[in-house]
Structure 1
Amino acid sequence: MDVSTCMRKTVVLAEPDCDFVCLLHKIAAPTPRLAYIVDENRTLIGVVSARDLLKEVMPSYMNAHLARSISDGADYLKRQAEKARHRCARDIMVKKVISLHPHHQLLQADAIFAERGFNTLPVVDEHNKIVGEITRVDILVHLIGDPFTYDFDGVVELTE
């Protein structure tokens, strides 16, 4: 089965000069998203993830023990984000992007997910223009069919 059978065709695009705050807004969706950095021809030149943005905010020396000692954690993060405002996609993006083509097999996508620890991969055409993305969840949904036809015992909404 080809990647094209279950890839998502709605993706988040950004230009290389897209600023940090704009990238935050683009990625801050209910489901984690990647921002695909493209040139004027929609050719993929990089990727920015939520992890990449957080690395811009979090100092490299910060660990969980040190973070516990900071009493104003939320304010600290806001101050750090303010310092990152001048950064843009060009500065933050990962340039060595692993991508798939629509004709690649789902098994190949799943193997890359397992080997590299990715959850999402861009799908590009023969000219490296982005045409979609595929996620681990997309493959799982494809395997089980329509998830809305299944009775999910044990799924509860936690209110507290």
Structure 2
Amino acid sequence: MTDTLLALSTDHIRIAPLHADDACALAAITDESVTSQVHFLPTPFTENDARALIARSGGGDVFHAVRGGSDGELNGVIGVHRRAAREYEIGYWFAAHARGRGLATEAVRAVVDALAASRPGCAIVAECHPENTRSRALLRRVGFVSTGLVGRRPGRMLLAWRAAPLDRIDVC
């Protein structure tokens, strides 16, 4: 999927694929609050685990660094995963210090918009645990809606992205 997203910038962040030299910073932001939610991450998540995750990034699974636009600090990770010929899944985690600042919403929106623009007509999905209210709220702000279907991961529900804003009023 390296052909899908190479680099993006917004007002506050820069997004680009993770590289081997990101391993130490990736391990530092991937604490138990993350590993307890992301089923494929071991606890504790070590620098060696980070190196392995970065090394397997490519093809159908690309993990992107979300960095501060001014300081370059690693704030989070967004994964873009090819599920089927025209379907892509978005997943993410953010450092504790970056949460609650709107960076995740800004980053996920940028990735989804870029993916939709580069792959017209593709389906974009996400999986979220029903009790993860903050993540569900983020996904809703970006334009995801519940499909009512169970996700592939344990305890997750499948959400699908819709291009039109959910709160749009066409007639008053």
TM-score bracket for this pair, using the shorter chain length: under 0.3
Max Rg structure? 1
TM-score (norm 2): 0.25
Greater strand percent: which structure?
Answer: 2
If asked which structure has higher relative contact order (CA below 8 Å, sep 6+), I would say: 1
